[in-house]
């Protein structure tokens, strides 16, 4: 445990000794001292003073006086209810030695109990490539995986792939119709984009058909008979689109026919389905690799979409579900502040949630985890509330370990992304863009001209990814975010590359001078050094908070603060040309610690840093 904990202990001890009151440090406000006051740490005594019936100043002075007995407290001052204490140089030195000699893994593992997790994230459809929304999802999911791993928890990851349904049938239909046997290989198009293109082709064809139909007398009859009062034909036909697809459309009927054939396992359809999905998976694989994210397993809806009927039966047997006269099965969650929710259609077929119930149960049977985290956009908040409450009603043993990591939707400065309007930001395009921006800046600077082409492109990729990933992860997960493509490729200021730059500066120094470990220090410690150490000491708390909140943004912001503080230190203080050999070693050690913590934090975010840039 770092030595700040000792100071906190001393404060608790002082209160016990002076006032015979037993306090927990978490009940007291003890924080870093604000820069405009003299001191390193501050204890706020207002609330406490009230409890003991003495003025805040008196309490501050008494505790301050008591603390002076400690060799790590240099001095104190009291301003109203604020007791500011200054630490001795010995305190900082002890901490440096501790951080130098103790691995971050060990520090984070302290008092951590064994737990195991399954994180479900990404969850794509196989009819189109990954987009910006998926990027936020996978970065959050993968980052949470890294953070939990950093706490030495057992974590595995999975994704549920929606590989069946009408959407992929649309792609299949269009491919049969227009492709003439073309493949990703024959056209050189990435598999997921290739299949996505046929989905778009279907949609365009359908739009065309629908538009033509709207001028027929059949359409006119339907409009006059079923329009709402004063509804324009435009509005009506927008609303009617889905019905048209299901009831009237010719190509809609053909696509639905393919779906039926798929369910009936018609070999020819099954074959095409497998073939096209395989193309998509190849494409996804490339994107995953670029983002450097991984999955320990995959669940396919084609294999799980029939699950859940059994669990519904169990619920009926336990009388926590009920059957309506028409045969549909429901759960009543009104006592939980939710509504009644259908679990099985009157014809006995599944709905969305049926499958999720079944999947949850099956997964627990197979993996037996304590915690299951679903990384899914917050538009599904209600669905997950219902799902979790239903599983609790069923008294499933894992029901209390379920967590919906909900993140806000990603919007463009122009508003929501709409595939219909072609405003969806494609994941691969975005990755290419940040990479070429990184390349542009790097070439201007010319620091890495001597590297081989292969090494160079690796650095461009790392910097581009640092920019993109940090940009996405610095925002609190639960908040919706405005994604400005222009800002995402920024490399200055509060950005990933800024943090990478701090790290690279240290690596550059390391290349000039090997860092030896130290066991003492006898010179003055400057303010910039203390500020760095204060931040280093805060890291375990930052990680714990990220785990508690299921939110990496705190770690992202921490990395920025640490990098910022380092840049200041680097500017103000000479390291290799320090005043004495001893100071140089001390500062080198400090650099080493900072680079380790920066690297650890960035690793938690899934950001891989280069040694040069």
**Residue 570, interface with RNA (CB under 7 A)?**
yes
**Residue 240, interface with RNA (CB under 7 A)?**
no
Nearer to RNA by C-beta: 172 or 575?
Answer: 575
Enumerate residues 338-397 that contact RNA by CB under 7 A. 339, 342, 345-347, 350-352, 378-383
Nearer to RNA by C-beta: 110 or 352?
Answer: 352
Residue found by looking up tokens 């859940």 in the block:
308
3-state secondary structure 425-464: CEHHHHHHHHHHHHHHHHHHHCCCCCCCHHHHHHHHHHHH
Stretch that binds RNA, among 137-145, 178-186, 359-367, 471-479 (CB under 7 A): 471-479
Tokens of 200: 């778009």
Enumerate residues 162-181 that contact RNA by CB under 7 A. 162, 165
Binding mask 118-157 for RNA (x = CB under 7 A): ----------------------------------------
**Residue 301, interface with RNA (CB under 7 A)?**
yes
**Residue 573, interface with RNA (CB under 7 A)?**
yes
**Residue 564, interface with RNA (CB under 7 A)?**
yes
What minimum distance in Å lies between the beta carbon of 176 and RNA?
Answer: 23
Nearer to RNA by C-beta: 318 or 416?
Answer: 416
**Residue 568, interface with RNA (CB under 7 A)?**
yes
What minimum distance in Å lies between the beta carbon of 185 and RNA?
Answer: 30
Tokens of 416: 């929501």
Collect all residues with Cβ–Cβ distance below 8 Å to 173 and sequence separation of at least 6: 202, 251, 254, 255, 258
Q: Which residues are registered as beta bridge partners of 280?
A: none
In this structure, the number of other CB atoms found within 10 A of the CB of residue 334 comes to: 8
Binding mask 32-61 for RNA (x = CB under 7 A): -xx-xx-x--x-x-xx--x-----------
Collect all residues with Cβ–Cβ distance below 8 Å to 452 and sequence separation of at least 6: none
CA pair distance 349, 451, nearest whole angstrom: 60
**Residue 421, interface with RNA (CB under 7 A)?**
no
Stretch that binds RNA, among 283-291, 335-343, 361-369, 450-458 (CB under 7 A): 335-343
**Residue 203, interface with RNA (CB under 7 A)?**
no
Of positions 13, 484, 582, 608, contacts RNA by CB under 7 A = 484
What is the C-alpha R_g of the chain? 30
CA pair distance 185, 381, nearest whole angstrom: 40
Nearer to RNA by C-beta: 177 or 303?
Answer: 303
**Residue 241, interface with RNA (CB under 7 A)?**
no
CA pair distance 410, 472, nearest whole angstrom: 9
Of positions 131, 145, 288, 474, contacts RNA by CB under 7 A = 474
369 near 362, Cβ under 8 Å? no
In this structure, the number of other CB atoms found within 10 A of the CB of residue 118 comes to: 25
473 near 561, Cβ under 8 Å? no
CA pair distance 249, 247, nearest whole angstrom: 6
CA pair distance 337, 382, nearest whole angstrom: 11
Stretch that binds RNA, among 80-88, 107-115, 364-372, 518-526 (CB under 7 A): 80-88
Stretch that binds RNA, among 13-21, 306-314, 360-368, 408-416 (CB under 7 A): 408-416
Of positions 553, 589, 595, 603, contacts RNA by CB under 7 A = 553
What minimum distance in Å lies between the beta carbon of 230 and RNA?
Answer: 20
Nearer to RNA by C-beta: 201 or 613?
Answer: 613
Burial of residue 323 (CB within 10 Å: 0-12, 13-18, 19+) is middle
What minimum distance in Å lies between the beta carbon of 180 and RNA?
Answer: 31
């Amino acid at each position: 445990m770092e030595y700040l904990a000792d100071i906190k202990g001393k404060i608790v001890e002082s209160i016990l000794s002076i006032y015979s009151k037993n306090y927990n440090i978490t009940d007291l406000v003890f924080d870093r001292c604000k820069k405009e006051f003299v001191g390193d740490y501050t204890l706020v005594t207002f609330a406490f003073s009230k409890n003991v019936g003495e003025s805040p100043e008196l309490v501050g002075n008494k505790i301050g006086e008591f603390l002076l007995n400690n060799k790590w407290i240099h001095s104190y001052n009291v301003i109203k209810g604020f007791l500011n204490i200054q630490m001795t140089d010995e305190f900082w030195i002890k901490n440096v030695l501790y951080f130098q000699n103790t691995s971050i893994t060990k520090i984070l593992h302290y008092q951590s109990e064994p737990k195991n997790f399954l994180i479900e994230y990404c969850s794509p459809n196989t009819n189109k490539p990954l987009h910006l929304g998926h990027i936020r999802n996978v970065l959050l999911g993968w980052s949470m995986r890294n953070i939990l791993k950093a706490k030495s928890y057992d974590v595995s990851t999975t994704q549920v792939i929606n590989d069946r349904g009408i959407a992929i049938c649309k792609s299949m239909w269009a491919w049969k119709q227009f492709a003439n046997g073309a493949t990703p290989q024959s056209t050189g198009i990435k598999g997921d984009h290739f299949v996505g293109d046929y989905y778009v082709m279907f949609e365009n064809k359908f739009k065309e058909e629908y538009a033509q139909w709207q001028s027929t007398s059949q359409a006119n009859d339907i409009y006059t008979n079923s329009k709402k009062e004063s509804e324009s034909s435009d509005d009506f036909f927008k609303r009617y689109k889905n019905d048209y697809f299901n009831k009237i459309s010719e190509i809609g009927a053909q696509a639905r026919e393919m779906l039926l054939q798929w369910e009936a396992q018609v070999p020819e359809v099954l074959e095409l389905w497998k073939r096209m999905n395989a193309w998509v998976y190849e494409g996804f694989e490339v994107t995953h690799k670029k983002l450097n994210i991984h999955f320990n397993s995959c669940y396919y809806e084609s294999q799980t979409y029939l699950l859940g009927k059994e669990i519904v039966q169990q619920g009926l047997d336990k009388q926590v579900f009920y059957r309506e006269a028409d045969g549909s099965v429901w759960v009543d969650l009104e006592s939980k502040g939710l509504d009644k929710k259908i679990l099985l259609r009157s014809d006995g077929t599944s709905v969305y949630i049926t499958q999720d119930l079944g999947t949850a149960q099956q997964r627990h049977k197979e993996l037996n985890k304590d915690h299951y985290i679903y990384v899914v956009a917050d538009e599904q908040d209600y669905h997950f509330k219902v799902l979790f409450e239903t599983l609790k009603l069923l008294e499933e043993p894992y029901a209390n370990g379920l967590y919906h990591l909900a993140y806000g939707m990603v919007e463009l400065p122009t508003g929501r992304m709409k595939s219909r309007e072609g405003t969806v930001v494609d994941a691969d395009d975005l990755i290419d863009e940040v990479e070429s921006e990184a390349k542009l800046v790097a070439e201007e600077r010319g620091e890495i001209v001597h590297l081989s082409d292969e090494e160079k492109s690796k650095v461009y990729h790392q910097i581009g990814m640092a920019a993109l990933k940090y940009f996405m992860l610095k925002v609190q997960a639960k908040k919706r975010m405005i994604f400005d493509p222009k800002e995402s490729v920024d490399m200055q200021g509060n950005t990933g590359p800024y943090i990478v730059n701090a790290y690279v500066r240290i690596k550059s120094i390391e290349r000039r001078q090997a860092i030896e470990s130290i066991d003492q220090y006898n010179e003055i410690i400057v303010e910039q050094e203390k500020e760095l150490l204060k931040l280093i000491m805060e890291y375990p708390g930052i990680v714990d908070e990220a785990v508690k909140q299921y939110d990496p943004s705190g770690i992202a912001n921490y990395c920025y603060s640490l990098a910022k503080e380092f840049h200041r230190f680097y500017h103000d203080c000479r390291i290799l040309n320090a005043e004495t050999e001893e100071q140089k070693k001390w500062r080198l050690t400090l650099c080493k610690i900072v680079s380790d913590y920066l690297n650890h934090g960035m690793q938690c975010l899934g950001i891989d840093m280069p040694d040069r840039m």
